[in-house]
Amino acid sequence: MRLIGAAALALVLVLAAAAPAEAGKAVTSEGGKYLDAEGTPTYNVKEDGTVDWYTYSGFRRYHSECHVCHGPDALGSTFAPPLKDSMKALGYDKFLEVVVNGQEKIGAAQQSKMPAFGTNLNVMCFIDDLYVYLMARADEAIGRGRPRKKEAKSKEAREAETECFGG
């Protein structure tokens, strides 16, 4: 398996902050990615329930890599906490840190360990997608289950995916 290095992670962070944002509003950057006023990736859900491509992709990636421990729709399980709740206080940088490096908590009554996913391309190539999906769940902008409507996958999203997987 190919290792995601510091340069690749830095590129993810630079791309996420590349587009200007209006104060307090999500704006579309090139490729259909939405960013908040601080340049952090965010979701966009239209009034008719249509989600942006990256939120939809995050749903797909979450349910292929994360739901085994964190439960369907980020609701948690007896094994791992509900990310729908955890994301409210986590923040983008801490989310990246935990997913890339993992995290272990040891207490008198409980022990938990989140494995590192920094070498998993199915996670790292879509880290922003996972983040925006989980934030949409945390903010209750989308409900449980597969989003029924989604924006089309952009040319830029296709190119980024191909490049990340080494194509």
Query: What is the CATH classification number for the domain harbouring 61?
Result: 1.10.760.10
The DSSP symbol for 31 reads T
Q: 109 phi and psi, to 5 degrees?
A: -105, -15
**How many domains does the chain fold into?**
1
- Tens-place pLDDT, residues 36-72: 888 899 999 999 999 999 999 999 999 998 988 888 8
Helices 92-101, 127-138: inter-axial angle, 10-degree rounding? 130
Q: pLDDT-based confidence at 138, cuts 50/70/90?
A: very high
Q: What is the pLDDT of residue 69?
A: 84
Is residue 141 domain-resident?
yes
- Tens-place pLDDT, residues 70-127: 888 877 777 777 788 888 888 999 999 999 999 888 777 777 788 899 999 999 999 9
Q: pLDDT-based confidence at 151, cuts 50/70/90?
A: very high
Is residue 1 domain-resident?
no
Name the strand (E) or helix (H) holding 35: strand 34-35
- Report yes or no: 140 and 42 within 8 Å, Cβ to Cβ: no
For residue 88, what are the domain limits?
6-164
